[in-house]
Structures are given as C-alpha cells and as structure tokens.
Amino acid sequence: MSPPSLIDAHPHLSDTAPVALSYELFPPRSPAAAETLWTTIRELETTEPDYVSVTYGASGSNRDTALELINRLLVETTLRPLAHLTCVGNTPQELAAVIGELLDIGVRGILALRGDLPKDGGRPAAGSLRYAQDLIDLIRRVEQRRSALLCAGKIAVGVAAYPARHPESPSEEHDVEVLLAKQRSGADFAITQVFFEAAEYEDLLTRARRAGVTIPIIPGVMPFTSLRRLTRLGELAGVEPAPQLMERLAAADDDMERLHIGVDATVELANAALDAGAPGIHLYTFNEHQSALEVLDKLALPRHSRTRSAIPRPQLAS
C-alpha cells in the first residue's frame, strides 16, 4: 500500500464544496424589456451568483442582442456570463466565428446546445451541425487554436441534460448515452431541463453515474409561480407540469398567494435535489428577480461570499 499523499492527509480538502448558484437570463426583445432586465440583473448581482447564463435563439436568431447583453454583463457588472450557443441551422464556419467573438470579449463558459428544430418540421440548412456533441468538438478545436491566449482560463463547456426523456429521444437510457458521449467530447458540466419531481433528477443522477458520467449535473429549477408559463413549458419542452401544483395555483385568490404557493413548491424541489447530491442550483428567472430572490431566501444555500472571503491585504509597517 502506498503512503497517503499530502492531499489525502490534508484535513480541509475533504470538506464538502460550497453549492453553486446561477441564474438564466434571456436577451431582451425591446427597450422596455431591457429596462426590466437590467433592474433584475442589479438585484440578482447582490446575491453574488457564480455565473449567469444567457440564452441564444435557435439558428442564432438573436445573435446580436445575446452578444450585446453578454458584453454589457462583462463590462458593467461583477457577473460572469455563461453563453448559451445553439448549433442547429448554422455551419461550422459561422459557429466558429461566434465562438471567436465570445472569446474575444472575455467569455470563458459556453453551454453547447443543439437548439430546437424548425417548428415547420423542415430540415436544418445543409452543412449545419447536427448535434450538441458536434458543437463541443468545434468549441474544443477553436480553443486549441487559441490555447496561447487562454493561459489564464480555458473554456468551461456545459451541456443540457434531461431528467424526463428528451421529446425526440427513444428512451431515458439513450439520453444518458448521449450525455456520456457529450462528456467524452469534452463537456465539463451539465444543466438540466426543468423537472417537477425530485425523483426524476435523482434517477438521472443514478443512471448517469452508473453509465460513467462523472461531470456535475446541475438541476435547472424554475420558480413555479406563473400558471401561464408552466402551461407553455409543457408545450415547448415536452415537460408536463404536476397537475396538483397547477390546480393549487389555479385556485389561488391573487398573485401574492400564487407567489407563495409557487415559491414553496420550488424550494421543496430544490432542497430535495440538494439532498440527492445536486452540486448547485440553476434558477430559470424569466428575467424577473422577485420569485428567484424569494426562492433563494428560503433555500439558505451553503455558499461562500466572494467579498467576505476576499483575502485581506497585508498591512504595511509604518
């Protein structure tokens, strides 16, 4: 038996890691929406998240507003952006140019996604990338070419994961195989689609670990405060909201009661995911801060404060 290494013997390294906190934002579609978004950003900034993700339209439909928002986050705030990037409908050349632009403005985290297929059932343009896995390969190739510029931080590549079967997938086992393939191509972490039952997330963790997936799988949690949004989610992502929750929200007398019901249900789900071993919580904010902050308040995540844990400057002798 070999002697314990310095790392094994170090008592502090076995401490549990702090839980990561992140938010999802989407690029605004109008000047009024931008104003609301920036109020949200300032409110969320006070909670010192580890990163905020910025969505990207399928086929790059909102490329310019996404890049503009990411640039402003980098220049005007203390927040670290995680840029979503979708590949469907775009050629490798077009995508390599966007990846280059993201790196040029200082982005070091990219969520590599396929994006939703055209709603009319049409085929993506010829020559466009097919799967998220292809986009990971492309990001890693661009990174390799620029490796001399990335000595102070390589690109963290994230991917999507699905607690409930992806609508186009034949089975949940296939989803895990795809996740494993994305890890093998160089994904560093995964964020999940919205889910309603903690058991679905726990099952995904078990199936993924059994299959050899070792990257963190961060639960994406949506504040369940809007009936309209929950219904739409079922249509868009193929995730059916829990009927009991929908009934309770529908029976609420006013927005305040709906907020309380939704926040409590969200906190319960997030706590159950943390108990199952979630390494972080990613909150889908829909560009609103109130419900996200209420959820956060009740969660009491074990986190380090960046400002409070700042290393004190040595005092100069006078």
- Tell me which residues in 208-267 interact with ligand FAD (CB under 6 A): 220
Rule CB under 6 A: is residue 113 a binding residue for ligand FAD?
yes
User: Site for ligand FAD (CB under 6 A): which residue of 51, 56, 195, 196?
Assistant: 56
183-202 mask for ligand FAD (x: CB under 6 A)?
A: --------x-x---------
Rule CB under 6 A: is residue 175 a binding residue for ligand FAD?
yes
Structure tokens at 101: 């632009």
Q: How far is the CB of 1 from ligand FAD (least distance, A)?
A: 42
User: Site for ligand FAD (CB under 6 A): which residue of 20, 44, 52, 58?
Assistant: 58
Rule CB under 6 A: is residue 290 a binding residue for ligand FAD?
no
Residue 235 known to be catalytic: no
Q: Judged by CB, which is closer to ligand FAD: 84, or 258?
A: 84
Stretch that binds ligand FAD, among 8-16, 114-122, 254-262, 304-312 (CB under 6 A): 114-122
Q: Judged by CB, which is closer to ligand FAD: 18, or 57?
A: 57
User: Site for ligand FAD (CB under 6 A): which residue of 52, 178, 205, 273?
Assistant: 178
Residues in the chain: 318
Biggest CA-to-CA distance, the chain: 74
What is the 3-state secondary structure of the chain? CCCCCHHHHCHHHHCCCCCEEEEEECCCCCHHHHHHHHHHHHHHHCCCCCEEEECCCHHHCCHHHHHHHHHHHHHHCCCCEEEEEECCCCCHHHHHHHHHHHHHHCCCEEEEECCCCCCCCCCCCCCCCCCHHHHHHHHHHHHHHCHHHHCCCCCEEEEEECCCCCCCCCCHHHHHHHHHHHHHHCCCEEEECCCCCHHHHHHHHHHHHHHCCCCCEECEECCCCCHHHHHHHHHHHCCCCCHHHHHHHHHCCCHHHHHHHHHHHHHHHHHHHHHCCCCEEEEECCCCCHHHHHHHHHHCCCCCCCCCCCCCCCCCCC
User: Site for ligand FAD (CB under 6 A): which residue of 20, 69, 73, 84?
Assistant: 84
Stretch that binds ligand FAD, among 33-41, 130-138, 272-280, 292-300 (CB under 6 A): 130-138
Within its chain, how far is the Cα of 209 from the centroid?
A: 20
Q: How far is the CB of 189 from ligand FAD (least distance, A)?
A: 11
Q: How far is the CB of 239 from ligand FAD (least distance, A)?
A: 10
Rule CB under 6 A: is residue 64 a binding residue for ligand FAD?
no
User: Site for ligand FAD (CB under 6 A): which residue of 36, 47, 71, 169?
Assistant: 169
Rule CB under 6 A: is residue 128 a binding residue for ligand FAD?
no
Instruction: Give me the residue label for tokens 């079922």.
Output: 234
Residue numbers annotated as active site: 24
Binding site for ligand FAD (CB under 6 A): 55-58, 84, 86, 113-116, 131-133, 160, 166, 168-169, 174-175, 178, 181, 191, 193, 220
